[in-house]
Structure 1
Amino acid sequence: MSHTAHIRSHRKPRRNASKIAMRAGVAGGVLGTLAVAGASGSASAAEPVTQTLELPTLTADMAVQVAQSAEVTQQAAANYQLQAERDAAAAKAAKEAKADLADAKKKAEARKKAAEAARKAAAERASRAAERTALSASASTPAAGSGASASVSTGSSTATGSAAAVISFVKAQVGKAYVSGATGPSAYDCSGLVLTAFKQVGISLPRVSQDQSTAGTQVSLSNLQPGDILYWGGAGSAYHVGVYVGDGMFVGAQNPSTGVVERPLSYDPPSGAVRVL
């Protein structure tokens, strides 16, 4: 036996050649795959990807459609503006028509009042004429059982106290206008003048002629005193009143044509008189 037979070798035992070859093949495949992937990655990194968007081509038909759409939009805007102008014009016309109607109503009402005043004045004149005729006939006929003639006083008695104040007031109103329903200070109707005159001395009279003709003590026309209230028509149904101011004169708001006047009793002889002073 050799003296080296029991000495172990320091070299590693050889591996099986087939296993080594297999491992080498696997490693080569892996490295090859990595190399291909790396090359592909490098190529991708070197060449950026560009995405191309295809825009629609503006054809002749599309251009016509766009133009037509713009024209329709412009026409719609013009129509809206025209409608707004028409609405504004209609509103203005309606406002003007309303104002014209109101003005026409006012004028019609004024004409109606003027016609009514003229009709009333004409009726009063006609009634006074009839009363005058009746009074003239009565004055020329002897009173029953007495043989005396009816007469109207034209004496020149002098007013004093409250009567003087009333007379002074009504004379100061001569020349002012006659307006139905007016009680002064710039216009009166007949009963409005009497009402306001006696108010100056603290006497409150009824507003209308019918009531004023019964407001005091009935007195004879032959025994008149300044400050007496004269009335035309029947007592309680008189259609006109005035104030006797003495000397055969009276003051009254006669009608729209004459206004407030001072006249002799012979101008329009009254039917009766009442005394409140």
Structure 2
Amino acid sequence: MSHTAHIRSHRKPRSRTASTIAMRAGVAGGILSTVAVAGASAAANAAEPVTQTLELPTLTADLSAQVAQSAEATQLAAANYQLQAERDAAAAAAAKEAAKDLAAAKKAEARKKAAEEARQAAAERASRDSQRTTLAAAADTGSSSVSTSASTSASTATGSAAAVIDFVRAQVGDAYVSGGTGPNSWDCSGLVQAAFRQVGIDLPRVSQDQSTAGTQVSLDNLQPGDILYWGGAGSAYHVAVYVGGGMFVGAQNPSTGVVEKPLSYDPPSGAVRVL
């Protein structure tokens, strides 16, 4: 203990005036009020929900350029798809139109071919009618002599002539087909060629050449096995085989086929002999 502790202080105690006490009380109250308000504010803030705000990054110049390029590329791709679709549609339409044109061309060609065949048939009929008119008188005046000669020849047909006649008569009733060479369908020159092949004679294929293949003979001196022709020698359009008795066998046309007919049915223009 200090040696002065027992000495009573001679200071006068401070007198606290009422104003000082009041001032201090006011300060303390203000402090307490401030603390209370701060506490209430903190409690109120604690009761409210906290919301976080996220800030999106700001587009830079490079990123903006990339976005613009991507949009432009998307638009370009869409335009290309549209263009390709239009091209495909145009190609399909062109192909369809080409197919229609081809079909129309084929039909036109078929009509043209049919008209040409009809014209040729009409020309042949006209030529044959003209030949019939020209030869009608000769056929009438010479029919008796031809018939007499034919009757005699029919009874004396032998050898190769008989073989040719037997062959053509065996085909009577077969169909007529242009270009036909047997065994069940014939055209006129195909039948004649096949008949003479039976006896080892190789005739030309077409009527024009067959009409000059042998020796020309008159119609009033026919023998069985002679080749009859219609039209000019070298330009004949039809041939047949004389079988005697005033009769011939030939592949006439599609409606009659192979038939045996009298000479008066279709008087020939001439005849050749190859046997």
TM-score by length of 1: 0.59
Structure 2 equivalent of residue 111 of structure 1: 111
Task: Write the mapping of 1:190-269 to structure 2, written as runs, cut at 5 A.
Answer: 190-269=188-267
Residue 206 of structure 1: how far off its partner (Å): 2.6
Measured after TM superposition, the shift of residue 123 of structure 1 is: 2.0
Deviation at residue 271 of structure 1 after TM alignment: 1.7
- Output the amino acid matched with 1:254: Q
Q: Does structure 2 retain, via aligned residues, the 8 Å contact 1:178–1:260?
A: no
Decide whether aligned partners of structure 1 residues 264 and 82 sit closer, same or farther in structure 2, where only a CA change above 3 A counts: farther
Deviation at 1:105, TM superposition (A): 4.0
Aligned to 1:136: 136
Q: Unpaired runs of 5+ in structure 2?
A: 1-55
Contact 1:178 1:254 in 2 (8 A): no
Deviations 1:35-57 (A, max 9, x none): xxxxxxxxxxxxxxxxxxxx971
Q: 1:240 to 1:91 in 2, by over 3 A?
A: same
C-alpha distance 104-70 of structure 1, shift in aligned 2 (>3 A): same
Partners of 1:164 and 1:103 in 2: CA distance: 53
| 1:238/1:107 CA distance change after superposition, 3 Å | same
How far apart are 1:231 and its partner, in Å?
0.7
Task: Tell me which protein shows more helix as a share of its residues.
Answer: 2
Aligned-partner Cα distance in 2 for 1:137–1:240? 21
Shift of 1:230: 0.5
Q: Is the 8 A contact 1:157 1:226 kept in 2?
A: no
Q: TM-score, normalised by structure 2?
A: 0.60
Give the corresponding residue for 2:73.
73
**What residue in structure 2 maps to residue 177 of structure 1?**
176
Match of 1:84 in 2: 84
CA distance in 1, matches of 2:163, 2:104: 45
Letter matched to residue 57 of structure 1: T
Amino acid across the alignment from 2:205 = R
SS in 2 for 1:124: helix
Give the deviation of 1:63 after TM superposition.
Answer: 7.3
Measured in 1, the distance between the counterparts of 2:111 and 2:118 equals 10
- Which 5+ residue runs of structure 1 have no aligned equivalent? 1-54, 143-147
SS at match of 1:263: strand
Structure-2 separation of matches of 1:100 and 1:195: 45
Give me the whole-angstrom Cα distance separating, in 2, the residues matched to 1:71 and 1:158.
107
- The separation in 2 between residues aligned to 1:106 and 1:211, in whole angstroms, is 34
Matches of 2:167 and 2:83 in 1, distance apart?
67
Q: Secondary structure at the match of 2:119?
A: helix
CA distance in structure 1 between the aligned counterparts of 2:156 and 2:108, rounded to whole angstroms: 48
**Residue of structure 2 equivalent to 1:12:** none
Paired residue secondary structure (2:225): coil
Contact kept, 8 Å, 1:178 with 1:258, in 2: the verdict is no
Q: 1:76 to 1:100 in 2, by over 3 A?
A: same
- 1:105/1:189 CA distance change after superposition, 3 Å: farther
Report the counterpart of residue 122 of structure 1 in structure 2. Answer: 122
8 Å contact from structure 2 (residues 146, 222) kept in 1: no
Query: Matched residue of 1:231: which SS?
Result: strand
Describe the superposition over 1:52-104 as per-residue Cα deviations: whole angstroms up to 9, x where unpaired: xxx97138xx87993x6555433432332233333334444444444544444
Identity of aligned residues (%): 66
Offset from partner CA, 1:160-199 (integer Å, 9 cap, x none): 54444444544427442342xx143475543343334433
Distance verdict in 2 for CA 1:69–1:170, change over 3 Å: farther
SS in 2 for 1:130: helix
CA contact (8 A) 2:189 2:206 kept: yes
